[in-house]
């Protein structure tokens, strides 16, 4: 079985811990977590994360 690695963007530290557990539960691994300081900051940076994902970064 091939490993699946995921990059995550979350609102805060609690979200980071929950997201890591969910990813492991489904059999994937976390590559990197981008932790922001709340929903507002995350929403501002989402277009950049989406652009990077389309570019394969």
Question: What would the pLDDT profile of 22-50 be if each residue is shown by its tens digit?
Answer: 999 999 999 999 999 999 999 999 999 99
Within 8 A by CB and 6+ apart from 34, the residues are 7, 8, 9, 10, 45, 49
Confidence of residue 53 (pLDDT cuts 50, 70, 90): confident
Distance CA 37, CA 32 (A): 16
Question: Could you tell me the residue ranges of all domains in the chain?
Answer: 7-55
Q: Coil, strand, or helix at residue 19? A: helix
Cα atoms in the 13 Å half-sphere on the side-chain side of 6: 16
C-beta of residue 34 within 8 angstroms of C-beta of residue 45: yes
pLDDT of residue 2: 67
């Amino acid at each position: 079985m091939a490993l699946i690695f995921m990059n995550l963007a979350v609102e805060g530290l609690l979200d980071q811990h929950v997201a890591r557990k969910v990813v492991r539960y489904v059999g994937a691994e976390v590559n990197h977590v981008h932790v922001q300081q709340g929903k507002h900051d995350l929403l501002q940076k989402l277009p950049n994360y989406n652009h990077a994902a389309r570019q394969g970064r």
